[in-house]
Amino acid sequence: MTAPASALYVGRVEHRRIRPRPHALAYRVFWMLLDLDEIDDLHRRLKVFSRDRRNLFSFRTADYGDRSGRPLRPQVEARLAEAGIETGGGPIRLLTMPRVLGYGFNPISVFFCHRADGALAATIYEVHNTFGEIHSYLIAAEGGARPILQDSAKAFHVSPFLTRDMAYRFRLAPPGDDVALHIAASDGEGPMLFASLAGNRRELTDGALLRLLVTHPLLTLKVTAAIHWHALLLLAKRIRLIRHPGPAAGDVTVGRQSG
């Protein structure tokens, strides 16, 4: 019997702003790596995790994609096809924080889109902001080398302290025994912000989830609270507020693989 691809990753998120005044944050986080074809089995097998139903931990389909609640696999495959990427029905796995006690907020979730032979073909970085908006960056991820380097223009307003006239450089180590993502955000003067996540793999079981409920209580609520707390600290440092420039042009921005 093939071992499930779905797993837990436990680690940290860090942000470091270097201009116009330094600011940094770090907090402990855990994520679920969910194979889209295994979620129904996890719903049946696990007592403390449910799909589209309240539980200690839950996955709500309508939190992702077009937020209609329609199955995610055809949504992802349609986006890949529009970008000229065919995967032949290969695995699609989502790295995301689950809802905890019904509450969820993910600043960034990552779809890992594989070909039928298991090779990684593309990633989709799905970004949420605190204004209730969502946008995705779709980028090829060929070759199998770690780390994967990718670039994209910034198209989506995330922080009221950063303009949209910026570019992202993604440095990604796809899920294995560990997972890591480093994002550098730059403007015309060079790098301004570095953000990273990193975690180590653990088996996805009821026992592991219950331990995380103790060691990382109210995870997603704390993430939201940390965002607002650090916004107040940036205001105290007299970092200029940026007016929301309006929605992104389209739901998906296609970037490019650079290495």
pLDDT-derived band at 2 (thresholds 50, 70, 90) equals low
Residue 221, SS3 per DSSP: helix
Hey, where are the domains in the chain?
A: 7-239
Tokens for 137, please give them. Answer: 């960056």
How would you label 50-71 residue by residue, b for 16+ Cβ within 10 Å and e otherwise?
A: bbeeebbbbbbbebbbeeeeee
**What is the identity of the amino acid at 117?**
D
Q: What are the tens digits of pLDDT across the range 163-220?
A: 999 999 999 999 999 999 999 999 999 999 999 999 999 999 999 999 999 999 888 8
Tokens 């450089």 sit on residue: 169
pLDDT digits (tens, 9 = 90+) for 7-28: 999 999 999 999 989 999 999 9
Quick: pLDDT tens for 222-241: 889 888 888 888 888 888 88
CB proximity list for 142: less than 8 A, separation 6 or greater: 119, 120, 121, 257
Is residue 138 within 8 Å of residue 83, measured between CB atoms? yes
d(Cα 31, Cα 96) in Å, to the nearest integer? 5
Q: Is the backbone peptide bond immediately before 74 cis, with ω within 30 degrees of 0?
A: no
pTM: 0.95
Within 93-218, residue ranges assigned H as helices are 206-215
